[in-house]
Structures are given as structure tokens and as C-alpha cells.
């Protein structure tokens, strides 16, 4: 079993990357607009959040909802992606600017939801769907462009073979994003409590779906089923985490403080690994490679490098869940006394 410094596991306090790398941005307003300092991504902190918070207040004053801003980000994201098709770096750079602005708007929708207390399951599903659609547009446009380009180090055009590579990359991309999202949610579950973490569980989603009135709108059943499928895949890959959560739910309504502190301390060692599998690492790697004319190497990066990161991340977090279970739950009797 892995050994951890117990003296650092005595309290659950939120840390913030903002305070460490950009203390001038650490305002109360900025804190209220984000999920958690623990899960901040440096690029979000330095680039996206400062712009987004100003836009968010403008949208709120104009009466825009978080979901409306999410749909606006789709317009800029897809529009920017189309500009990746020409073999012209200036047009490609304009496309990058539009895609980056779409990412800023993606920050805005979450900030608006938190500042106006309008977070919802529909909003989370819509946000995830738009994120996927924006990157799907990038994959499709790159595929159309690369059909006419040669495979690196050969004089042979990609032709239709590029679509095999793209389908594999898209599958890996979706899986990586799901798992990174899950472990950030699990971290927030132990840091802030289930009510604030929005950690969905299959059994709860199935109960909610079954309890819908017969006259419920079709769109509600569709997005709830999509969310259920998404969550089932996350739980399938995290058996140790599921056993830990099941035991905690059976034991008590609240997570014991010492257990939560132990989990958070250990999770913080790998939390930035979860951000590696989300938007920024993937997007900025693509932007750099595109401007260098090396965009063909983006797909091996997704299929090989990020897949390795995903499996290492899962192994680390599953080991944490197993150790926490053994130390705090399996080693105690029903009264909470050590046995």
C-alpha cells in the first residue's frame, strides 16, 4: 500500500492556482465565478477567466442565460474551425482567434450559472455537447484538408485513410475528456460535498429518469438519457471509486472529515493530470502544430500520448480510492472503531 504523509491530511482546505501564479486576479468575485481553485487550469486562470468574468457581467445585465451563451460559443467555435481548412497561416490564425473566443464564452456560461445560481443538469449536458461539437468540427475540417495532403515522410496522399485516423482520435478524445471530467468531479465531491460537486451517479440518474411524468418533453428524456450513458461509461472505468462511494453512502450522509482530507491530499498530486485531458492541452497543441504546418502530428499526440496519460491517471486515482477504502472503511467495524 502506498504511504502518505499523515500530518498533511488533517484538514480539507481549498487551494488555488490563481493565488500562486496570478495573485492580482484573486478577487472575491473571481472566486465566486469558478468551480474550485483546486481544479483550475493555468491557461484558464491567466487567459480565459479574466476576459470571461467581464463578459459574464455584460451577458447577465443583458439578460442572457448561461445556456444561451453556450450556444453562442458553438457559433464561434464552428466558424473558427472552418478557417482551418485553407492552407493559409493568416486565415488559420484568424480561425484560432475565433476558437479561443469560443473557449472564453465556454468559461462564461459556467460563470453565469454559478453567479446567478442557475446551474442545471440540462446546462451541463448542453455545455458538454457543444464542447464535443466544436472539436468535432475541427476534426472534420482537418480531415477534409488533409485528404489532399501527403502522409508525413512519404509522397503518398492521405486520401480517405485520414478518416480512419480521425475516427480513432475522436474516440480517444471523448474517452479522455470523460475520465478527466470524472476525476475532477470526484475531487470536488470530497472537497466541497456532494451538493456542490455535481457528481452524478448512475443509480440516481436512473431513478430521476424513471420518475419523470408521462407528459415530460421529449428533449428532457433525450438529454437525461445522454447524461446517463455518459455517466455509465465513467463508472465502468472506475470500479474502486464506485466501491468507495457506495460504502460512504451506506455509512453516512456526510463524508468523514479525516477521510475527505486524506483523499484531497492525495488527489492534489494528480489533479493537473486531469486538466491535461481536457480542452487546453489538446487545443493549444493543435494551434501550435497547425501554425508550424505539422498538424498531422496532432493525431498521434491524441491517440498515443494522451491515451497514456489517461491510463496512468486512472491507475493513480483507482489506487487512491482503494487505499482510502482500506484505511478508513474496510478496517473499521459498523461503529466506526478500528478492528
Q: Give the length of the chain.
A: 339
C-alpha separations of 225 from 15, 125, 134, 182 in Å: 35, 10, 21, 18
| Partners of 150 in the β-ladder | 157
pLDDT at residue 15 greater than cutoff 60: no
C-alpha separations of 275 from 38, 91, 155 in Å: 11, 29, 37
Q: Which residue matches cell numbers 491507475?
A: 315
For residue 127, what are the contacts with CB-CB under 8 A and spacing of at least 6? 70, 106, 109, 110
Residues 133 and 188 both lie in one domain: no
What integer is the mean pLDDT of 9-24? 51
What integer is the mean pLDDT of 24-36? 54
For residue 290, what are the contacts with CB-CB under 8 A and spacing of at least 6? 84, 92, 96, 298
pLDDT at residue 245 greater than cutoff 50: yes
Q: What is the pLDDT of residues 289-300, one digit of tens each?
A: 999 999 999 999
Residue 109: the pLDDT is 86
pLDDT at residue 221 greater than cutoff 50: yes
pLDDT bin (cut points 50, 70, 90) of residue 18 is very low
Residue 333: the pLDDT is 47
Provide the grid cell at 211: 420518475
Q: How much of the chain exceeds pLDDT 90, in percent?
A: 53
Residues 204 and 134 both lie in one domain: no
Higher pLDDT, residue 332 or 126: 126
Residues 54 and 195 both lie in one domain: no
Tell which phi-psi region holds residue 163, choosing left (phi > 0), alpha (psi between -120 and 50) or beta: alpha
DSSP-derived 3-state class of residue 84: coil
**The last residue of a domain, from among 146, 162, 190:** 146
Residue 313: the pLDDT is 97
- The listed range with the strongest mean pLDDT (34-38, 101-105, 177-181, 304-308) is 304-308
CATH number for 82: 1.20.120.1760
Q: How far is CA 209 from the centre of its chain?
A: 24
pLDDT at residue 266 greater than cutoff 90: yes
**The last residue of a domain, from among 106, 121, 146:** 146
Cα of first residue to Cα of last residue in the chain, in angstroms, is 18
Provide the grid cell at 95: 480561425
Provide the grid cell at 244: 468507495
Q: Is residue 7 part of a domain?
A: no
Residues 88 and 185 both lie in one domain: no
pLDDT bin (cut points 50, 70, 90) of residue 131 is confident
What integer is the mean pLDDT of 299-316? 97
Least confident of 31-45, 86-100, 223-237: 31-45
Q: How many domains does the chain have?
A: 2
Residues 125 and 175 both lie in one domain: no
What integer is the mean pLDDT of 267-290? 92
| Ramachandran angles phi, psi of 81, nearest 5° | -60, -40
Q: Which residue matches cell numbers 478518416?
A: 163
Residue 193: the pLDDT is 67
Q: Is residue 121 part of a domain?
A: yes
DSSP-derived 3-state class of residue 157: strand
pLDDT at residue 28 greater than cutoff 70: no
Residue 171: the pLDDT is 94
Residue 43: the pLDDT is 80
Residues 113 and 178 both lie in one domain: no
User: Which letter does DSSP use for residue 297 in this model?
Assistant: G
C-alpha separations of 217 from 104, 125, 213, 240, 250 in Å: 31, 16, 9, 36, 34
| Spatial separation of the C-alpha atoms in residues 87 and 290, rounded to whole Å | 10
Residues 121 and 174 both lie in one domain: no
Q: Is residue 11 part of a domain?
A: no
Provide the grid cell at 7: 500530518
What integer is the mean pLDDT of 252-258? 77
Residues 195 and 339 both lie in one domain: yes
Q: Provide the total of helices (H) and of strands (E) in the chain, helices listed first.
A: 17, 0
294: domain range? Answer: 153-339
Residues 122 and 189 both lie in one domain: no
Residue 34: the pLDDT is 54
Residue 329: the pLDDT is 86
Least confident of 201-215, 266-280, 325-339: 325-339
Residue 198: the pLDDT is 59
Higher pLDDT, residue 189 or 23: 189
Kindly report the average pLDDT of the chain as a whole number: 84
Give the residue from 214, 320, 335 showing the smallest Cα distance to 268: 320
Q: Is residue 1 part of a domain?
A: no
pLDDT at residue 152 greater than cutoff 60: yes
| Spatial separation of the C-alpha atoms in residues 93 and 80, rounded to whole Å | 9
Beta carbons of 276 and 126 less than 8 angstroms apart: no
Tell which phi-psi region holds residue 286, choosing left (phi > 0), alpha (psi between -120 and 50) or beta: alpha
Give the residue from 306, 284, 304 showing the smallest Cα distance to 180: 306
What integer is the mean pLDDT of 16-36? 52
Residue 235: the pLDDT is 94
Q: Is residue 93 part of a domain?
A: yes
Residue 5: the pLDDT is 40
Q: What is the pLDDT of residues 81-111, one digit of tens each?
A: 999 999 999 999 999 999 999 999 988 988 8
Amino acid at each position: 500500500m502506498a504511504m502518505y504523509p499523515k500530518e498533511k491530511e488533517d484538514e480539507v482546505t481549498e487551494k488555488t492556482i490563481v493565488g500562486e501564479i496570478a495573485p492580482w486576479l484573486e478577487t472575491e468575485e473571481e472566486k465566486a465565478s469558478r468551480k474550485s481553485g483546486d481544479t483550475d487550469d493555468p491557461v484558464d486562470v491567466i487567459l480565459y477567466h479574466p476576459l470571461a468574468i467581464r463578459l459574464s457581467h455584460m451577458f447577465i445585465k443583458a439578460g442572457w442565460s448561461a445556456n444561451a451563451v453556450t450556444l453562442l460559443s458553438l457559433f464561434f467555435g464552428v466558424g473558427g474551425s472552418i478557417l482551418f481548412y485553407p492552407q493559409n497561416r493568416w486565415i488559420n490564425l484568424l480561425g484560432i482567434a475565433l476558437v479561443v473566443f469560443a473557449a472564453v464564452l465556454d468559461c462564461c456560461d459556467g460563470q453565469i450559472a454559478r453567479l446567478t445560481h442557475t446551474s442545471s443538469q440540462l446546462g451541463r449536458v448542453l455545455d458538454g455537447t457543444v464542447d464535443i461539437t466544436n472539436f468535432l468540427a475541427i476534426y472534420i475540417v482537418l480531415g477534409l484538408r488533409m485528404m489532399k495532403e501527403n502522409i508525413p515522410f512519404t509522397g503518398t496522399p492521405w486520401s480517405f485513410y485520414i478518416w480512419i485516423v480521425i475516427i480513432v482520435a475522436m474516440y480517444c478524445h471523448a474517452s479522455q475528456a470523460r475520465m478527466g471530467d470524472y476525476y475532477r468531479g470526484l475531487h470536488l465531491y470530497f472537497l466541497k460535498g456532494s451538493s456542490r460537486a455535481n457528481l452524478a451517479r448512475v443509480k440516481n440518474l436512473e431513478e430521476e429518469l424513471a420518475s419523470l411524468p408521462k407528459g415530460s418533453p421529449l428533449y428532457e428524456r433525450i438529454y437525461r438519457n445522454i447524461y446517463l450513458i455518459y455517466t455509465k461509461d465513467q463508472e465502468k472505468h472506475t470500479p474502486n471509486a464506485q466501491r468507495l462511494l457506495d460504502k460512504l453512502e451506506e455509512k453516512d450522509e456526510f463524508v468523514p472529515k479525516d477521510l475527505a482530507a486524506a483523499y484531497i491530499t492525495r488527489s492534489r498530486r494528480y489533479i493537473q493530470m486531469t486538466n491535461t485531458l481536457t480542452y487546453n492541452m489538446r487545443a493549444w497543441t493543435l494551434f501550435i502544430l497547425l501554425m508550424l504546418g505539422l498538424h498531422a502530428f496532432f493525431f498521434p499526440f491524441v491517440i498515443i500520448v494522451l491515451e497514456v496519460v489517461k491510463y496512468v491517471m486512472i491507475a493513480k486515482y483507482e489506487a487512491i480510492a482503494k487505499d482510502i477504502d482500506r484505511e478508513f472503511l474496510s478496517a473499521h467495524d459498523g461503529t466506526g472503531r478500528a478492528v
